[in-house]
Structure formats: C-alpha cells, structure tokens
C-alpha cells in the first residue's frame, strides 16, 4: 500500500453537502445539521466514528484469527461524546464490542484491544492523548 492516500471532495449544493470519492470506490455523501445543511446525510463526525470503529475492528478481528480463534460474528457499537464548547470535537469515545465465538476468551480480547490501541490501529494512534477512549467487550458462546 502506498504511503499517499487521496480523496476528492466536491460541493453538491448551496449548503455544506459534499460528495467524497476515492478512485474506484463508492462515493460517500456527508452533510451537516440545519441551518448549515439539511441533516439527511452522514455527519463528518459520524463518518469519523465509522472510520475509527472499522479501523480498530480491522485490527482486532485478524489478531483473534491469528490466535487461532474462530469468530462467528463480530459487532461494534461506537459512541462519541462531543465537547460542549467549540471546537465540538469528541472528548470521549466508547467501543462496545460483541463477539460470538466458541473459543475467544476475555484475555484474548484484552490482548487484541491492547495491540490495536498500542501500535496497530492508525486512527487510534492519531487521537491518542487527545480523546479519552474506553471499551467494553462481550463474548457470546456458541
């Protein structure tokens, strides 16, 4: 993978609705809440939560598989609490990760989360020290 990533962003209306594209991939539409936007598309901070959650999940799940674990289902709920003053960025983000597996243990999840946070998830690395990130994990046995 190249160290240079590129996205193109195009204004779509008189407000702040944008179409973002990466060559060869589906477009993403973002907007903002009224009065600046119509609030009908994904908000940029919601897109950030999706990016962070899928980045972490894209590290945790392969780590569990490398441990020889069998994962039948994997779900992430990610919630961000924004500051009350500007900039209205996240001050806290919480992951709730649910894994359905016959053999994943709490210790396996802890190890995978620590590796994701410590050195493998690039989105986590970018916000570390600026946003309080917490997590809970739940394992459903099959």
Q: Give the containing element (helix H, strand E) for 80.
A: strand 71-82
Task: For residue range 80-120, list pLDDT tens digits in order.
Answer: 999 999 999 999 999 999 999 999 999 999 999 999 999 99
**24 shares its domain with 62:** no
**95 shares its domain with 123:** yes
DSSP 8-state symbol, 102: S
Range of the domain at 75: 44-140
**Distance between CA atoms of residues 139 and 109, nearest Å:** 9
Name the H helices within the chain.
Answer: 44-66, 106-115, 122-127
**Distance between CA atoms of residues 28 and 47, nearest Å:** 9
**Distance between CA atoms of residues 31 and 33, nearest Å:** 7
Task: For residue range 22-78, list pLDDT tens digits in order.
Answer: 999 999 999 999 999 999 999 999 999 999 999 999 999 999 999 999 999 999 999
Comparing CA positions, the residue from 41, 45, 44, 108 lying closest to residue 74 is 108
**118 shares its domain with 75:** yes
**Residue 85, phi then psi, degrees to nearest 5:** -120, 160
Check which CATH number belongs to the domain holding 63 and give it: 3.30.300.20
Question: The pTM is what?
Answer: 0.93
**14 shares its domain with 52:** no
In total, how many domains does the chain have?
Answer: 2
**Distance between CA atoms of residues 108 and 75, nearest Å:** 16
**31 shares its domain with 83:** no
**62 shares its domain with 114:** yes
**119 shares its domain with 135:** yes
**12 shares its domain with 78:** no
**108 shares its domain with 134:** yes
């Amino acid at each position: 993978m190249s160290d240079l990533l590129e996205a193109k962003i195009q204004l779509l209306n008189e407000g702040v609705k944008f179409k973002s594209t990466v060559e060869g991939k589906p477009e993403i539409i973002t907007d903002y809440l009224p009065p600046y936007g119509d609030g009908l598309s994904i908000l940029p901070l919601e897109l950030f939560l999706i990016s962070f959650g899928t980045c972490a999940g894209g590290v945790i799940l392969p780590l569990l598989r490398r441990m020889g674990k069998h994962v039948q289902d994997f779900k992430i709920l990610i919630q961000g609490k924004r500051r009350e003053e500007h900039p209205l960025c996240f001050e806290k983000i919480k992951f709730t990760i649910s894994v359905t597996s016959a053999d994943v243990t709490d210790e396996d999840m802890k190890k995978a989360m620590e590796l994701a946070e410590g050195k493998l998830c690039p989105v986590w690395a970018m916000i570390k020290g600026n946003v309080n990130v917490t997590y809970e994990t739940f394992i459903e046995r099959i």
